[in-house]
Amino acid sequence: MSRRPKSPAGAPPFAALLRGDESDPFAVLGMHGPGADGAIVVRAFLPQASAVSVIDGASGAVVADLARVHPDGAFQGIVGRTSCFAYRLRVETAAGQSEIEDPYRFPPLLGELDAYLLAEGRHHRAYEKLGAHVTEIAGVAGVAFAVWAPNARRVSLVGPFNDWDGRRHPMRLRHDCGVWELFVPGLGPETLYKFEIKARSGDLLPLKADPFGFFAERPPATASVVWNLDDFRWRDAEWRGRQAAAAARDAPIAIYEVHLGSWRRRSDAGQGYLSYRELADALVPYVRDMGFTHIELLPISEYPFDGSWGYQPIGLFAPTSRHGTPDEFRAFIDRCHRDGLGVIVDWVAGHFPEDAHGLGLFDGTHLYEHADPRRGRHPDWGTLIFNYGRNEVANYLFANALFWADRYHIDGLRADAVASMLYLDYSRPAGEWSPNRHGGRENLEAIAFLKHLNETIYAEGGGAFTVAEESTAWPMVTRPTDVGGLGFGYKWNMGWMHDTLLYMSKEPVHRRYHHDLLTFGLLYAFSENFILPLSHDEVVHGKGSLIGKMPGDHWQKFANLRAYYGFMYTMPGKKLLFMGGEFAQTAEWNHDQGLDWHLLADALHAGVQRLVRDLNRLYRGTPALHRRDCEPEGFDWIDCNDMDQSVLSYLRKGATPDDCAVIVCNFTPVVRERYRIGVPRPGFYRERLNTDAADYGGGNIGNLGGVAAEPIPWHGHAHSLSVTLPPLATLVLIPEGTS
C-alpha cells in the first residue's frame, strides 16, 4: 500500500502526473491496496488507449476493465481480489489490441548495498547499475534504467516508444542515493531514449542524454541508445595473459597515435569515415607491419563536435557511433590484441562541453561541474570542469576509467591535460582563480582524485596502465601514491619534445649554439617514467608537419627528419609517433580528410616509412634500447660536448655490461671521416642502422657494415672506434655477440 499523502479534497490522484509534475509515480500508477475498504485499485496512464483491461498474469483471464477518468488517457478501476497479484494490461488502440506489462508493477531495482555505495561515491562499477541495462525481472524481458539526479523534482524516461511524452514513464526516486530508476518491459537493444528532467524550480530542462549510456546516435543527433554489452565473445585471452608485461617499464613500447576519422577515408564520393570493422582490416595490419607495439586512439568517447577531435566528450561510456556499434569497436580491439597490439585511449576527465543534452546543469543544479566558475569553467576552451571534490562525481569518473578496462579490454588510458586539473590558476590571470584551503594554487581535490584513479586502475583494471599528459614540472607524476606520487604509469616528456624540435628547426650552421637543447633532457630523463611524444599537438594549429619543421633543401629536410627519428628511438624513454609522421606527411594534419597516402609513391617518403619500420624492429629487438628506458643505469654519454661539430655520442645499456648499443648522431650536413669515439669493450661493432642508407633515401655513406674497436683509449674507455659519420644522420652500432 502506498504511503503517499492523500490528495487535497477533490484532487484526483492523476493531477500531478497530467501536469508532468509527478515525483512519486509508483504511488499513483500500478496496483495499490487493499485499502481500508478492502479494494485493490489499478491505475494506468495510456494516452493512445481507448480501453484498458487488467489480465491475470497466471490464468490470462480478464479480472477488471479500467475506466477512463481523464480524457488525456488516465485509467483506473477496482480489481475484485483481496491481495495483489501479477498482472498484465490489455490495451485497445486505433492500431488494434495488445497485451503489455505494466512498468509500475515491478519492485525497486537497486539493492541496498548498491544504493549505499552510490551515495558514498565508492561504487567503482557503477556502470553495472546506472544507465540502461537489458535484463529480465520476474521472467519479463525489458530494460532497467537508472540515472543520478538528486536535485530534480521529476525525472522521466522518454523516447519513440512513448512519443517523447514525459508523462508516460516517470521514474522512481531512490531518496537514499538520489538515483531515479524504472524497469520498462518490452524494450530492448537499439532503443532510443533520453531523460526528461524537471528542475526543483519547476523549469523543464532540455532533454538529457544518459551519462552512463553505452551507445548514442550518430551526431548531430543526440539520443542515447540501449545496448547490451553482454553479448560479445572475446577471443583475446592469450593477449590478456601478457597484457601487463607488454606495458612494463622494461618492455619496448612504441605507440602509433591515431585519429580514426582521418587516418584514411572511404574512397567513395562521400569520403566518409571507415567503420571499426574496416579499420580492423586496414589499420591493424598496417600498424603491426610497421612494428609498433600499441595503437593510441584520440578520444573515442562520443562527442558532438568533429572539430574537437573527441577532446570535448559528451558520452563518456559510449564509443563514438561515427564508426559503428559498441560491439564493432570491441571487435576492433579484439583484432588488435589477436595481432599482438595493445590499445591506449585518450581519456578526458579534465573538462566537458556545455551542450544542452550533456552533463552541464544536469538536474537544474551544478551537479557534475564545480559551481564556482573560477573552478568550474575553462576560459580557454569554453568548457566545464568536473567537481572532483564531490564523491559521486569522482566515482563517476573512476567508474568510467574502469569501464574501458573492464568492458572493452583497453590496455591503457592517457589522461589528457592533467596540468589543467592540477593547478587552480591554470590559464587564469590573477583575480580569476580561487586558492585552496591553504592559500595555494594546487587543486587538492583533483590531486586526490588522480591518486585514487590510478590506485583504482592498477588494483582493479586487469593489467591496464595509465599515462599522464602533464606539461609542467609537477614532481613524482609516475611515482607510487604511497610515497607521495600521483601514481601514473608513464608521463609524456613534453620538455624533450619542445627542446628537440626547437633544435631541429635550427639551420645546421647555428646548431652549435643550441647544443644544450639536445642534452638538457638527460638531466631529468629518469625522474619519471617517460614517453617521448611526437603527437598530434605538434602538427596542428599552424605548426605545420614534422617534415615542414626541418631546415634545408628538399633532401636535407628528409635527412634531418631521419636523423631525428634515429635520435628519438635511441634515447631513453618509450616512443610515440602521430600518424603520417611515419612517412613524412608534408601537410599539416586536417581532421576532415585522410592522410596523403599518395606520397608513398615518392622514394624519399617511402624511405622514411621504411626507416620507422626498421627503427621499431631495432628498438623492440635490442634489449639495450628499451630494457632500462626508465633507469639511469641504461644510459651513458660518450661525448655530449662536441657542440662545434654538432655531434652527440652515447651508450644505451641493457642488463649486462656486454649488452649495449653505441649511438652517434651528426646534425650537420658534413661528412666526418675518422671520427673517434670511446667504446666499453673490444671487438667488432656492427652497423645495425644508418639513417643515411640508400633504402631510406640517404646518400649511403657509412662504415661498410661495421668497424672493429682499437685499443686506443678515448672518452674514458680503453677502446675506441674510428667511424665515418654520414651527413645529417644517426648511426647505431652494436658489438657482435650481443643483440
d(CA 650, CA 644): 17
Our CA angle for 37, 42, 44, nearest 5°, is: 145
d(CA 483, CA 478): 11
Given a contact cutoff of 8 angstroms between Cβ atoms, the answer to whether 410 and 343 are in contact is yes
d(CA 203, CA 364): 8
Our CA angle for 724, 725, 726, nearest 5°, is: 115
Helix, coil or strand: residue 546: helix
What is the number of residues in the chain?
739
d(CA 724, CA 699): 13
Under 8 Å CB-to-CB from 115, ≥6 apart: which residues? 174, 176, 177, 179
Helix, coil or strand: residue 436: coil
Q: Which amino acid is at 190?
A: E
Q: CA–CA distance from 193 to each of 128, 196, 211, 600 (Å)?
A: 18, 10, 12, 46
Neighbours of 554 (CB within 10 A): 9
Given a contact cutoff of 8 angstroms between Cβ atoms, the answer to whether 184 and 136 are in contact is no
Dihedrals phi, psi of 566, to nearest 5 degrees: -60, -40
Helices (H), 5-135: 15-18, 112-120
Measured over the CA atoms of residue 551, residue 552, residue 553 and residue 557, the dihedral's sign is: negative
Q: CA–CA distance from 229 to each of 11, 243, 325, 453, 535 (Å)?
A: 45, 22, 11, 24, 32
HSE value, Cβ hemisphere, 13 Å, CA-based, for 492: 25
Provide the total of helices (H) and of strands (E) in the chain, helices listed first.
16, 34
Q: Name the helix (H) or strand (E) containing 347.
A: strand 342-347
Q: What is the DSSP letter of 39?
A: -
Strand partners, 45: 74
Given a contact cutoff of 8 angstroms between Cβ atoms, the answer to whether 230 and 551 are in contact is no
C-alpha cell belonging to residue 409? 579490454
List the one residue out of 325, 329, 331, 358 whose CA is nearest residue 215: 325
Helix axes 391-407, 112-120, angle to 10 degrees: 120
d(CA 379, CA 49): 52
Catalytic residue selected from 210, 416, 470, 528: 416
Q: CA–CA distance from 80 to each of 84, 97, 513 (Å)?
A: 10, 23, 97
Q: Name the helix (H) or strand (E) containing 565.
A: helix 554-570
Given a contact cutoff of 8 angstroms between Cβ atoms, the answer to whether 55 and 99 are in contact is yes
Using the structure block, give the residue that is written with the C-alpha cell 531514449. Answer: 193
Catalytic residue selected from 22, 181, 196, 469: 469
Given a contact cutoff of 8 angstroms between Cβ atoms, the answer to whether 408 and 339 are in contact is no
Q: Which amino acid is at 537?
A: D
Using the structure block, give the residue that is written with the C-alpha cell 605538434. Answer: 538
Query: Is 306 known to be catalytic?
Result: no
Query: Is 416 known to be catalytic?
Result: yes
Neighbours of 220 (CB within 10 A): 8
Strand partners, 185: 142
In this structure, the dihedral spanned by the alpha carbons of residues 530, 535, 539 and 540, taken in order and rounded to 10 degrees, is -110
Under 8 Å CB-to-CB from 233, ≥6 apart: which residues? none
Strand locations in 48-171 (E): 51-56, 62-70, 74-79, 87-93, 96-100, 131-137, 140-148, 152-158
Strand partners, 258: 297
Active site residues: 416, 469
